[in-house]
Structure 1
Amino acid sequence: MEDRIMRQFDPNPLYRQTVGFDRLFRMLDTLGNVDATAPTYPPYNIERTGENAYRITMAVAGFGEGDLDIESKENVLTVKGDKKESAEENGREVLYRGIAARAFERRFQLADHVEVRGASLENGLLHIELVREIPETMKPRKISIGGQTARQIDATANKPVEAKAA
């Protein structure tokens, strides 16, 4: 029933009444289009490591640093893996391949002001460190009151009158 309700939601009135939320609405539209055939390889975890710090950990067994490509562009983090066959494997016959080494591309939508700080590969796990840094101009600031004389509207004349201190 919830699925039916979500499909009946029409965001068009919101498009007409808001400015600058296009990306949010596109994300909401894509949430309804998620299907069971979405890629599940490689598996990953997303962790909060601090108040404004996050880590994505991906299981990339069999991949080396040269096989992985990480790119951050326009609030999208893309991780690509392409295993190049080594000269050692050319001479061997693999009887069973249980360690997947197929090419992959995984995308993560990043919130505004989230930056990639670094990546490391250890024991078959790729760790990507992320930090949200809100610019100083966007942080809340205290606005002081004062400096001008308070003004009061005179009900009979409808014009501003200087307020008198009591």
Structure 2
Amino acid sequence: MQKFNQQLEIFSFCSPQEFKSFLVSLINVYLSGYKGLEGYAYTDKGDVKRYLKWLYKKDPEAFFVASLKNKTVGFVSGCRYWHDRIYGEIGELHEIVVDKSFQGQGIGKALHETMLSFLFKYHRIIGLWVGEKNKKAIKFYQDSGFKIVGQVGKWFRMIKEK
């Protein structure tokens, strides 16, 4: 696979209207990115749309999109002020998704680093949940310093401290 070089743009939305104009492409990225992992994802387009709106509304400044040659290829969302029952107020990484045909090119890593940099401005601890059978994502997060600290059902709780 070819690396994206200088063509990748990561940006946040200027307004809710701009977010809405990207919804169809974000839904498509989400559905593509979760192919093979449907047990951890919404599969109905209406559910995906509602979920994406929730993610954006939770913290609009913590929603970043990756674009390659003006094509939406991924996104990351988080929350600067998330309450964790053990750690208190932390930064939370909710979602990183890269279109299946663009995975393995460093786009997810660029989105991940963008979100970590953003959230660490506010907190020294960042949390996330990941599906227990999503081995690729678990390794990705562990390689960036996250540690598994618990499990609820099919979800692992992971934490990274600054």
* TM-score normalised by L of structure 2: 0.24
Hey, which of these two has a bigger chunk of helix by percent? 2
Task: Mark the structure with the bigger radius of gyration.
Answer: 1
Higher relative contact order (CA 8 A, sep 6+): 2
